[in-house]
Chains A and B, each alone.
Chain A
Amino acid sequence: MSESASANAPKPSSSVKLVLLGEAAVGKSSLVLRFVNNDFQENKEPTIGAAFLTQKCSLPTRTIKFEIWDTAGQERFASLAPMYYRNAQAALVVYDVTKPSSLTKAKHWVAELQRQASPGIVIALVGNKLDLTNDGGDVSEAAGAAQNESDSAQDGDEGGDEQDDVQDAVTGDARKVSTREATGYAEEEGLLFFETSAKTGTNVVDVFTAIANAIPESSLKTGRSTGAGTGQTSLGNRSTEDARVNLGDRNAATAKEGCAC
């Protein structure tokens, strides 16, 4: 973890409360673990209530300290969630790209956040377990291929789903939620959107960087988000584009966004 902040003149630093929501076992804790410790555990203990972790994210103009509330995913813990997303400025709603029901649950969470959380909360929709699909198998080796694949999938809007199916049949791709479906939803709701793999690290840092970028300055000064929905939306769209193009290409994105977490 490079401490770029210390090298330069001290940048303004502010902390952002971020909450992770999503169905059980979609990899919320693993995403956090990857982001905070750049580590991955195959058998992570289920989160009881919520876990709290922090990590800094350095942007060109400022440093964001994420206070991450990683919540339990089991359905019955849902009634505890308001306790955790209270005052959150950002939320990561996670689903599992191999499990369609988890996207449904994610949509419920988005709806809940949009109505109940602080106004102007930055929400990122994250499809995790990309490593189980063809797009995210092995980053280094298949980066180009993955890029091509995802590109072509994006290009051929009409045939996107079919193509997924074909891939499924041919290669045993476990993907059950098409990128297109999730992107469409994210755009509709003005969410940031990423597909990640906590296991390989694909796109994980990007998610947090994009969130850091999307947090409006104004809300940072007050320390609390004070409703800047417009910035969120435009950023959301842009980042969604990025995510599409950069699937499986983590380094490029990281360099561009300049996050030195």
Chain B
Amino acid sequence: MIPWSSFVQKAQSLIDPANFNIPALSSPDHNPSKASLFRQQFRLPDSQNPLQEITADLVLPLPNSPANQGDGSRRVDRAGNTYTGRLHLSERFICFSTQPTSFIPSATASASTTWTGQTHGTGPSGNGFILPLSCIRRVERLHSANHIFSLALTTWNGLLNKQQEPNFAPQRLILQLVGSRQACERFCDTLKKGLREGMKEVDSLRIVVSDCYSEYLLSGAKGKGQDGSEADTRQPPDAGLGLIFRYPGDARKLRDRSKMRLWGEYFRENGRNATLIRQPTFHKLIRVGLPNRLRGEIWELTSGSLFLRLHSPKLYQQTLAKFEGQESLAIDEIEKDLNRSLPEYPGFQSEEGIGRLRRVLTAYSWIDPEIGYCQAMNIVVAALLIYTSEAQAFFLLSVLCGRLLPGYYSTTMYGTLLDQKVFESLVEKTMPVLWDHLTKSDVQLSVVSLPWFLSLYINSMPLVFAFRVLDVFFLEGPKVLFQVGLAILRVNGEELLETQDDGSFISVLKSYFSRLDESAHPRSENPKLRAITRFQELMVVAFKEFSGITHSTITETREKHKGAVLENIETFAKRTSIRNLGPESKRLSVDDLGTIYDRFYETLYQWEQHQKVIEEETRRQERKKSQRLSMLAPPADTQVGRVGLGPSPTHMDYDAFREFLAATSKWAVADSPGPSRKASSSGKSALWANRRQPADHEFMQRLYRKWATDPEEGLNLQNVVNGLARLKGSPDIMNNINYFFDLYDDSGNGQVDREGILKISEALLFLSRRGFEGTITATPSMENLNSSGDRDHAENSLTTDEKFLGSVSAFIRRCFEYADPSHPENQKADQQDATADATEKLDSFAIGDDEEDDLIDIDDDDDAKSTSSPAPDATTQSAKSTTAEPDNNAHNRSASESANPALDPNNPLHITLPTFRMVVLADELLEQFFESYFPQSFHLSDHPHPAALAASSSMSSNLTTFSNLGSIRSPGLAAGSVPVAGASGGIVPPGKGLRGVLDNIVSDGIRMAAEVKKRMDEAQRDLERNALGREEEEDDDDDDDYPRREHTTAAIPGGIPSWGAGAYGADPERRSVVRDTDRDLLEGAEVLDGGKEEKTSLLDGKDDAKHAPRKVSGSAASAKGRGSPTVHDGEVISKLVEFEP
């Protein structure tokens, strides 16, 4: 028994036939694999593969005469037919088929070669058999004088009944293998193996066969029942609703009885159901229309669904039981349509019929959730149920959806659209005049023909005729639909040429369909001609005139149009999907949304493919044979997951999200192609190998969790769009800062703890490790400052990245300095809350003075203690590579730890959003980071939303204003400089080449502080107001290096107090300037950089070190800590005084 799940895996790609040692098939080489061609030709389940193949003669011996004496009706000319063809062996089947041209009319002249040729490649072509190995009871090697390798097969035909049939003779057929002795032996070996396996299926076979009406028919139970002599204990098997509610059409007119007799005869001679052998009569009997009671069985047989049922006879009942009581969207949709499926048939006005329909559709929606339920399936299944049992209809539907009508009922219905294109192009090719007319009068053919294909003519033609089409369709495959469609147009050609619009076109065809039972030649004198109905005429035209339309015609034409059709669908899907993304998405431009959409589905698609390959490999490694039962059209297997093909995944898990980010942002690409998390075990496929590997960083996990509505389910397009819209759609730096803070506010209480602070800083480094792409620039004045104010050339080569490092370390420092204790009672010094007096704040600054160097090392601390998440790979790696880590950092760590409660892990602390904002805005680089780099690091289209554009422009204006602010208002808020580098400056020798940085730090910090203060004031008052940026824009005109430079060179680290004050809403008009001479005092701040120095190496930033890092402000503060700031500005002084204890 196959587990249900394997049946569901129909979307899995077919096993690559290359993995099997099979000789090449003689069939012409198409795109689909040989294995799939083989399966298609013999209608075998997907689990089957061609294992052996050999030329052979099939000899059907005379029916065993002694046993058949009573059977006078047996025609002798049938006996002893010999067919030459190919014998194929798969895991569970032995198949024989004559080649279209190799039919040997040894005994009968009625060999209708026209039949045999056309089914080639689609259905069981020509004559022969498809025997499940479980049907074979015995195989004998015959001794033959001519050294011919002959096998005699005896089947279970008729022996599976409890009741012995009268005049029964076991079915026996002889195969003469033509080939080298080795080839024959090899074939026999494989056959032996298969037979052993097949034995296990005999019980299934018994079950399946007992549902076949033919068994009942041949058992003679029927006849005896009529006698009344022997009360028939056996109920006839379920042959559809027709047994209860009558079959459509007039049985007498359909000559049902005589057809039945003919089929009975055929069965007796050639075997029934699973053991049936196809001779020319078989095809002819199907062409004239199947008898009602056998219709379902023959459909099952010719479509191959019988083999699916044989494979898992209980699947239908099990599926129903398994999902009993469960609900789904498909079920809702099914319920809506139950009462409107062939409502004119009495069976579907009854609970019985509707119940059957409900169960079959529901069961199928469970085993094929990708299709679920599509309108039109109700009509098709309703039609099937008139002739079949529920289980039979269930498996027939499976074959229809999976193989005969590939993609018709999928969620995009690409198969339907594709076949309409194919049909149109066939019309154009075969009936150019009509086609021209249609084009000229603007009649769209497909609107007329689409329902024909989608519901298999069932609701276009009267039922009796639609079933006749179905009879042939199940045998010969999809091409029948095309042939009939073309014939309809051809037969009505003249009338259609007179129509001018859709309306009249449709009405011509409507009236034609309603008169199919009328004579095609009502005025003919020849009564035989007069007796030919329009439907018969249609069939003749379809299969004679359009005999050139073969399966390969269809396949080739499909291949030609497939790309365009899929693209159309995908364009439509994209358009619709983007339009329906909701209000959030309006913050991004249509181009951006398009880019996100494409990238999202591209990622999912790639990911899907990737997973599949891995799965395949795993399966192969486990040497597990695929047991997929369902049938899958070959074209689908290569592109599973493509949007246009129907249900594609809609949610990406974290790993796929990483891929998405890697395609979006530089920082999300891993530094070295390390083993990816999931795939590492199963190895890399070629498909995946060339791709950049996505990084895996805690920040990305946070982003993922933040964006996802339900992280378990994954991210859908809406989540991603909303996430990106919040980041990129707003021109507001505050928004970005808030967003970032929220990412790390795990508890949601507006606080980020020590751990969080460290993680934020890691994330900042992670995000910046690939450079800033020019989005972050230190103010030009810095450079001027450098060149003029400082003599050390080394710092000129400092990159923005290096400077950013400094900013980050300053960030950490400040965060700790301004953190609020989570448990105030633990800390006397920090008891004050946010509204605390500024003087007290100053105390804490002083406390912080001593341990900058330790702060720098925080990452290392972390690693050592393993208290927090590991630093980004890159960071640690590079840390090791540049082992320049100064030991001196550690020497006073313990001392400073004890000195600074912020570092004491026993003193929990947290920062709030205002603090975070303050700290970020205190640093030019960090500010720029949040204002421009961070949102811009998500690359979407080249045409961003106007608002976003405004954002970036206002960003730049902000930047300039910022500098101006610094110069003009000369913010005294050196508070930003809290880092108090000065203190450590005395202890730790300055790192090389960093002095200039510090200079910049100082001056920068001062300007920064002014800005911070201003912003904080505003932000505090009205967080939602975006006025900030605009206000600053007013200052754009002042964007000029010179004035700023003047001020900055004169800057002194006096602003500390006002920075702190700024955070708490103090007067913004403070100024402070750092003197050059004070720089020495600040050099201690370099320690910070020393500690972080190793990290600079991993930054591949450019060397255009135009800008100094912002961390400077920190050192400015440290200078203050020293207590020796020189203050020029009166206001600042006053503030200072306030702060001084």
**Chain A positions near chain B (C-beta within 8 angstroms):** 15, 24-25, 42-50, 52, 54, 67, 69, 72, 74-80, 82-84, 86-87, 108, 111-112, 115-116
The CA-CA distance from A83 to B378 in the complex, in Å, is: 23
Q: List 10 A-B contacts (CB under 8 A).
A: A24-B336, A45-B459, A48-B376, A48-B450, A67-B503, A74-B374, A76-B409, A77-B413, A83-B446, A86-B444
Closest residue on chain A to residue B569 by CB atoms: A79
B343:A79 contact, CB within 8 angstroms = no
**Chain B positions near chain A (C-beta within 8 angstroms):** 333, 336-337, 339-343, 374-376, 378-379, 409-414, 416-417, 442, 444, 446-447, 450-451, 454-455, 459, 501-503, 506, 569, 572-573, 575-576, 579-580
Report the minimal beta-carbon distance from B330 to chain A, rounded to whole angstroms.
11
The CA-CA distance from A48 to B580 in the complex, in Å, is: 25
A45:B447 contact, CB within 8 angstroms = no
The CA-CA distance from A46 to B454 in the complex, in Å, is: 13
Report the minimal beta-carbon distance from A17 to chain B, rounded to whole angstroms.
8
A108:B580 contact, CB within 8 angstroms = yes
Taking CB atoms, residues of chain A closer than 8 Å to B333 are 24, 74
Given A79-B412, A82-B572, A83-B444: A74 and B417 within 8 A (CB)? no
The CA-CA distance from A24 to B376 in the complex, in Å, is: 13
The CA-CA distance from A50 to B378 in the complex, in Å, is: 16
B410:A76 contact, CB within 8 angstroms = yes
Contact with B379, one of A45, A52, A79 (Cβ below 8 angstroms)? A45
Report the minimal beta-carbon distance from A208 to chain B, rounded to whole angstroms.
16
Taking CB atoms, residues of chain B closer than 8 Å to A79 are 412-414, 417, 569, 572-573
Taking CB atoms, residues of chain B closer than 8 Å to A115 are 575, 579
The CA-CA distance from A80 to B451 in the complex, in Å, is: 12
Contact with A80, one of B342, B417, B506 (Cβ below 8 angstroms)? B417
Taking CB atoms, residues of chain B closer than 8 Å to A80 are 413, 416-417, 450
Given A15-B501, A25-B336, A52-B506: A111 and B579 within 8 A (CB)? yes
Known: A48-B450, A49-B447, A49-B450. 12 other contacts (CB 8 A): A25-B336, A43-B339, A45-B343, A48-B459, A50-B450, A74-B374, A76-B409, A76-B413, A80-B416, A80-B417, A83-B447, A112-B575
A76:B411 contact, CB within 8 angstroms = yes
Taking CB atoms, residues of chain A closer than 8 Å to B336 are 24-25, 46
A78:B576 contact, CB within 8 angstroms = yes
Taking CB atoms, residues of chain B closer than 8 Å to A43 are 339-340, 343
Main secondary structure of the interface of A (DSSP, over half): mixed
Taking CB atoms, residues of chain B closer than 8 Å to A45 are 340-343, 379, 459
A116:B417 contact, CB within 8 angstroms = no
B378:A67 contact, CB within 8 angstroms = no
A46:B337 contact, CB within 8 angstroms = yes
Q: Of residues A24, A43, A75, A82, which shows the largest number of chain B Cβ atoms within 10 Å of its Cβ?
A: A43
The CA-CA distance from A46 to B576 in the complex, in Å, is: 24
A108:B579 contact, CB within 8 angstroms = yes
Q: Of residues A47, A72, A76, A82, which shows the largest number of chain B Cβ atoms within 10 Å of its Cβ?
A: A76
A44:B340 contact, CB within 8 angstroms = yes
Q: Of residues A25, A45, A77, A115, which shows the largest number of chain B Cβ atoms within 10 Å of its Cβ?
A: A45
The CA-CA distance from A83 to B502 in the complex, in Å, is: 13
Taking CB atoms, residues of chain A closer than 8 Å to B575 are 112, 115-116
Taking CB atoms, residues of chain B closer than 8 Å to A112 are 575-576, 579
Report the minimal beta-carbon distance from A90 to chain B, rounded to whole angstroms.
15
A52:B459 contact, CB within 8 angstroms = no
The CA-CA distance from A141 to B572 in the complex, in Å, is: 47
B412:A76 contact, CB within 8 angstroms = yes
Taking CB atoms, residues of chain A closer than 8 Å to B376 are 46, 48
The CA-CA distance from A47 to B454 in the complex, in Å, is: 11
Closest residue on chain B to residue A72 by CB atoms: B375
List the 6 closest A-B pairs by CB distance, nearest first: A49-B450, A43-B339, A48-B451, A46-B375, A43-B340, A49-B451
Taking CB atoms, residues of chain A closer than 8 Å to B579 are 108, 111-112, 115
Taking CB atoms, residues of chain A closer than 8 Å to B379 are 45-46, 48
Contact with B502, one of A44, A47, A52 (Cβ below 8 angstroms)? A52
B339:A77 contact, CB within 8 angstroms = no
Q: Of residues A54, A72, A78, A80, which shows the largest number of chain B Cβ atoms within 10 Å of its Cβ?
A: A80
A52:B447 contact, CB within 8 angstroms = yes
Closest residue on chain B to residue A54 by CB atoms: B503
The CA-CA distance from A135 to B447 in the complex, in Å, is: 37
Report the minimal beta-carbon distance from A82 to chain B, rounded to whole angstroms.
7
A24:B375 contact, CB within 8 angstroms = yes
Q: Of residues B444, B447, B502, B506, which shows the largest number of chain A Cβ atoms within 10 Å of its Cβ?
A: B447
Report the minimal beta-carbon distance from A212 to chain B, rounded to whole angstroms.
17
Given A76-B413, A79-B412, A108-B580: A48 and B375 within 8 A (CB)? yes
Contact with A46, one of B340, B416, B446, B502 (Cβ below 8 angstroms)? B340
Report the minimal beta-carbon distance from A85 to chain B, rounded to whole angstroms.
11
Report the minimal beta-carbon distance from B155 to chain A, rounded to whole angstroms.
42
Taking CB atoms, residues of chain A closer than 8 Å to B412 are 76, 79
Report the minimal beta-carbon distance from A159 to chain B, rounded to whole angstroms.
28
Taking CB atoms, residues of chain B closer than 8 Å to A15 are 501, 503
The CA-CA distance from A54 to B410 in the complex, in Å, is: 31
Taking CB atoms, residues of chain A closer than 8 Å to B569 are 79
The CA-CA distance from A50 to B444 in the complex, in Å, is: 12
The CA-CA distance from A183 to B336 in the complex, in Å, is: 28
The CA-CA distance from A10 to B600 in the complex, in Å, is: 59
Given A45-B341, A84-B447, A108-B580: A74 and B375 within 8 A (CB)? yes
Closest residue on chain B to residue A45 by CB atoms: B340
Report the minimal beta-carbon distance from A142 to chain B, rounded to whole angstroms.
28
Closest residue on chain A to residue B572 by CB atoms: A79
Taking CB atoms, residues of chain A closer than 8 Å to B416 are 80
Report the minimal beta-carbon distance from A36 to chain B, rounded to whole angstroms.
12
Taking CB atoms, residues of chain B closer than 8 Å to A42 are 339
Closest residue on chain A to residue B454 by CB atoms: A48
Closest residue on chain B to residue A81 by CB atoms: B572
The CA-CA distance from A64 to B375 in the complex, in Å, is: 32
Taking CB atoms, residues of chain B closer than 8 Å to A77 are 375, 413
The CA-CA distance from A25 to B332 in the complex, in Å, is: 11
Taking CB atoms, residues of chain B closer than 8 Å to A84 are 447
Report the minimal beta-carbon distance from A89 to chain B, rounded to whole angstroms.
14
The CA-CA distance from A79 to B379 in the complex, in Å, is: 21
Report the minimal beta-carbon distance from B573 to chain A, rounded to whole angstroms.
7
Report the minimal beta-carbon distance from B279 to chain A, rounded to whole angstroms.
38
Closest residue on chain A to residue B453 by CB atoms: A49
The CA-CA distance from A83 to B416 in the complex, in Å, is: 13
The CA-CA distance from A142 to B688 in the complex, in Å, is: 69
Taking CB atoms, residues of chain B closer than 8 Å to A78 are 572, 576
The CA-CA distance from A72 to B340 in the complex, in Å, is: 14
Report the minimal beta-carbon distance from A15 to chain B, rounded to whole angstroms.
7
Report the minimal beta-carbon distance from A84 to chain B, rounded to whole angstroms.
6
Closest residue on chain A to residue B444 by CB atoms: A83
Taking CB atoms, residues of chain A closer than 8 Å to B450 are 48-50, 80
The CA-CA distance from A75 to B375 in the complex, in Å, is: 10
Taking CB atoms, residues of chain A closer than 8 Å to B417 are 79-80
Taking CB atoms, residues of chain A closer than 8 Å to B580 are 108, 111
Closest residue on chain B to residue A67 by CB atoms: B503
Q: Of residues A42, A67, A69, A74, which shows the largest number of chain B Cβ atoms within 10 Å of its Cβ?
A: A74
The CA-CA distance from A188 to B1120 in the complex, in Å, is: 62
Closest residue on chain B to residue A104 by CB atoms: B580
Contact with A108, one of B339, B411, B572, B576 (Cβ below 8 angstroms)? B576
Taking CB atoms, residues of chain B closer than 8 Å to A116 are 575
Closest residue on chain B to residue A47 by CB atoms: B375
Given A44-B340, A80-B416, A111-B579: A50 and B374 within 8 A (CB)? no
Taking CB atoms, residues of chain A closer than 8 Å to B446 are 83
Closest residue on chain B to residue A53 by CB atoms: B503
Taking CB atoms, residues of chain B closer than 8 Å to A48 are 375-376, 379, 450-451, 454-455, 459
Taking CB atoms, residues of chain B closer than 8 Å to A50 are 447, 450-451
Report the minimal beta-carbon distance from B348 to chain A, rounded to whole angstroms.
9
Taking CB atoms, residues of chain B closer than 8 Å to A25 are 336
Given A15-B501, A54-B503: A69 and B375 within 8 A (CB)? no
The CA-CA distance from A45 to B348 in the complex, in Å, is: 12
